[in-house]
């Protein structure tokens, strides 16, 4: 449907007529930006192509949509098809209480006794990090990393191998029809980065700075495992021994921190932080129709008490609810032709463990960071001052800049003053003790360089696939070549990570996975100004609201960043925040 609208020549001609008329000069800069974006999107949908090529483009777009859905369905089906019922509790020794209770509930739902383990990420990750049973970890690692491939328990049944090849071929054809050398060039037409080579150079520079420390971190992990009698560190051992090393080094675990982060305290503390920073107030409003009893509705008011936006907050996991955490727009801020103003409304959705066993919902610190991240997206949408739908809130924002506000908000979860506002033991109200906070902060950058090179590996792999495509390309071989350049951990030959890499084969991150790292550079550098001027400095906060959050997609992201920061972004703050010596 989107391509069909994008190829409508009458619509395109109407927009182009405005662009070519005297009326253009009377439009505001924001209206001009919206119109230019729209004309660009028409061209990227093939509106200017001759009839035969336009038809071909439309057919390719339909086929791509089908293939991307099939890829996603295969990953989901492959994930759900595997499960393991454990009836001997000693087999899941070490599994945290929350994961254990979840596995017991799943077994009970199927009328079985014991614990039903699945490849759903919370269960899989808990087993890999905490289960002392090596054989179980290996079994689940193999099942998880061979999903949707020609290998594993469901070999060939949900195989994405040919689907990936066809997706890449069709994307290249679409790019060539529009006159681009590669799909990556087409993708970057709507992003901050200019060329695929610029992106690869950026990523390789980060890899060069991070890899020596990543190797050192891996060597330390191997030495620690060896001290504990594990002479060879297998892939299914890495998360487990990393957690043990983290616990030994910092005497802290995410699970042990839950009592200090009851959901209510975290939410109210988060609101207090943004109220201080951005001169707003957030109030809960009752009596609004919601889709589940857990869902709450809030209004956002400005410093004069005027309601400027609203949002739904849906915090907890439940049966039938899509997994993960996300922000989406319900309504955008728009000035209608009759002069009335439609105010923005956002959805904020998470999947935290719900209250259970007489206790309130208790979050790990990692989940707190997730909540702040999604709320950052929400603020970007709700604090916009734009009144043209195509550039209002998160609309029209370049994909590699859209994560700036979300990653930026995460910083307050790591500041002593911020943690004091969001923590309070669910029984006593006592804030997170100073010694625990110090250990939490010390552990923040544990294995950060290993994590950095892993994300760089995925980003370069994505960019190589989409900028250097050839019909005889071997996807697995490309990934191996990238790993030789940047990785410190080399998975076994049976690992089929690419077959479930939904971000680039089924999501919006094709030739765009680098956006996470790009936006981290922007957010770390933006926050470094708060470090210089005070993390709760209201003047700096107001400036961030006015120069970044309120602008939506009305101007190029680099212009907005330079306006706020006074210069172009530097990678140094990100390396410093990550504890990586440049």
Q: What are all long-range contacts of 564-572, with beta carbons under 8 Å and residues at least 24 apart? A: 564/526, 564/529, 565/525, 565/526, 565/529, 569/521, 569/522, 569/525, 570/521, 570/525, 571/205, 571/206, 571/209, 571/521
- Please check the confidence at residue 280 and state whether its pLDDT lies above 60: yes
Residue 296 DSSP SS3: strand
Of the residues 374, 403, 457, 520, only one is catalytic, namely 374
Report which of residues 442 and 173 the model is more confident about.
173
On whether the CB atoms of residues 116 and 105 are closer than 8 A, the answer is no
- Please check the confidence at residue 582 and state whether its pLDDT lies above 60: no
Cα separation, 383 vs 391, in Å, equals: 13
Average pLDDT (211-237) is 98
pLDDT of residue 300: 99
pLDDT confidence bin for 61, thresholds 50/70/90? very high
- CA torsion sign, 368 to 372 to 378 to 383? positive
Residue 284 DSSP SS3: strand
Cα separation, 499 vs 488, in Å, equals: 21
pLDDT of residue 328: 94
- Please check the confidence at residue 496 and state whether its pLDDT lies above 80: yes
Cα separation, 82 vs 120, in Å, equals: 10
Q: Which of 519, 513, 512, 511 is nearest to 561 (CA)?
A: 519
Cα separation, 195 vs 201, in Å, equals: 10
Task: Provide, rounded to the nearest whole percent, the portion of the chain with pLDDT above 90.
Answer: 92
- Please check the confidence at residue 357 and state whether its pLDDT lies above 80: no
Structure tokens at 169: 């071929």
Give me the chain's average pLDDT, please: 95
Buried b (16+ CB within 10 A) or exposed e, 398-415: bbbbbbbbbbbbbbbbbb
Structure tokens at 554: 């009305």
The domains of the chain, with CATH numbers, are 82-145 (no CATH), 258-397+405-430 (1.10.1370.40)
Q: Which stretch of DSSP H or E encloses residue 347?
A: strand 345-352
Q: What are phi and psi of 331, to 5 degrees?
A: -135, 145
Cα separation, 96 vs 75, in Å, equals: 26
pLDDT of residue 565: 98
- Please check the confidence at residue 470 and state whether its pLDDT lies above 90: yes
pLDDT of residue 480: 98
Cα separation, 247 vs 550, in Å, equals: 42
Structure tokens at 79: 């994930």
Cα separation, 111 vs 257, in Å, equals: 33
Mark residue 320 as left, alpha or beta (left: phi above 0; alpha: psi -120 to 50; beta: remaining). left
Q: Is 533 a catalytic residue?
A: no
> How are beta strands 115-118 and 326-331 bridged, if at all?
unpaired
Average pLDDT (266-284) is 98
* Alpha-carbon torsion angle 69, 74, 76, 78, nearest 10: 180
361 DSSP 8-state letter: P
| pTM reported for the whole predicted model | 0.88
pLDDT of residue 581: 73
Residue 223, Cβ density class (10 Å: 0-12 exposed, 13-18 middle, ≥19 buried): exposed
């Amino acid at each position: 449907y989107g391509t069909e609208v994008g190829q409508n020549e009458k619509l395109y001609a109407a927009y182009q007529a405005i662009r070519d008329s005297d009326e253009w000069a009377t439009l505001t800069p924001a209206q001009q930006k919206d119109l230019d974006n729209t004309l660009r999107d028409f061209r990227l949908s093939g509106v200017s192509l001759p009839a035969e090529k336009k038809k071909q483009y439309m057919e390719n777009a339909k086929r791509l949509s089908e293939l991307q859905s099939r890829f996603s369905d295969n990953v989901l089906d492959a994930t759900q098809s595997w499960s393991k019922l454990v009836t001997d509790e000693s087999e899941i020794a070490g599994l945290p209480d929350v994961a254990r209770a979840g596995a017991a509930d799943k077994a009970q739902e199927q009328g079985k006794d014991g614990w039903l383990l699945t490849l759903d990420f919370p269960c899989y990750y808990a087993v890999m990090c905490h289960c002392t049973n090596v054989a179980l970890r290996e079994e689940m690692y193999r099942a998880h990393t061979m999903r949707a491939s020609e290998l594993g328990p469901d070999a060939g049944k949900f195989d994405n191998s040919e689907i990936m090849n066809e997706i890449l071929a069709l994307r290249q054809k679409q790019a060539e029809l529009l006159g681009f050398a590669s799909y990556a060039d087409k993708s970057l037409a709507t992003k901050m980065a200019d060329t695929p080579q610029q992106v690869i150079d950026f990523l390789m520079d980060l890899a060069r700075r991070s890899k020596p420390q990543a190797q050192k971190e891996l060597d330390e992990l191997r030495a620690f495992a060896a001290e504990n009698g594990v002479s060879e560190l297998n892939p299914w051992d890495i998360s487990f021994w990393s957690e043990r090393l983290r616990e030994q080094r910092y005497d802290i675990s995410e699970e042990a921190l839950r009592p200090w982060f009851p959901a209510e305290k975290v939410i109210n503390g988060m609101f207090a932080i943004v109220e201080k920073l951005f001169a707003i107030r957030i109030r809960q409003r009752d009596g609004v129709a919601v889709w589940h009893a857990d869902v709450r509705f809030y209004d956002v008011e400005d410093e004069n008490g005027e309601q400027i936006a609203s949002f739904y907050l849906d915090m907890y996991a439940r049966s039938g609810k899509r997994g993960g955490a996300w922000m989406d727009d319900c309504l955008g801020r728009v000035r209608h032709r009759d002069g009335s103003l439609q105010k923005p409304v956002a959805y904020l959705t998470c999947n935290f463990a719900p209250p259970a066993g007489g206790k309130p919902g208790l979050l790990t610190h990692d989940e707190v960071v997730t909540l702040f991240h999604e709320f950052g997206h929400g603020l970007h949408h709700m604090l916009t001052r734009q009144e043209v739908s195509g550039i209002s809130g998160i609309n029209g924002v370049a994909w590699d800049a859209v994560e700036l506000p979300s990653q930026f908000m995460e910083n307050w979860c790591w500041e002593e003053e911020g943690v004091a506002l969001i923590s309070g033991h669910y029984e006593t109200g006592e804030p997170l003790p100073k010694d625990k906070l110090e250990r939490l902060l010390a552990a923040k950058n544990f294995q950060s360089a290993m994590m950095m090179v892993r994300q760089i590996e995925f980003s370069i792999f994505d960019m190589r696939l989409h900028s250097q495509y050839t019909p005889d390309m071997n996807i697995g071989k490309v990934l191996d070549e990238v790993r030789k350049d940047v990785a410190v951990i080399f998975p076994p030959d049976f690992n089929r990570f690419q077959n479930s890499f939904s971000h680039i084969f089924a999501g919006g991150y094709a030739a765009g996975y680098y956006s996470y790292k790009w936006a981290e550079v922007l957010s770390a550098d933006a926050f470094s100004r708060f470090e210089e001027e005070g993390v709760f400095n209201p003047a700096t906060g107001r400036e961030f609201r006015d120069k970044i959050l309120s602008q939506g997609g009305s101007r190029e992201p680099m212009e907005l960043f330079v306006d706020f920061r006074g210069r172009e972004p530097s990678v140094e703050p990100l390396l410093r925040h990550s504890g990586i010596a440049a």
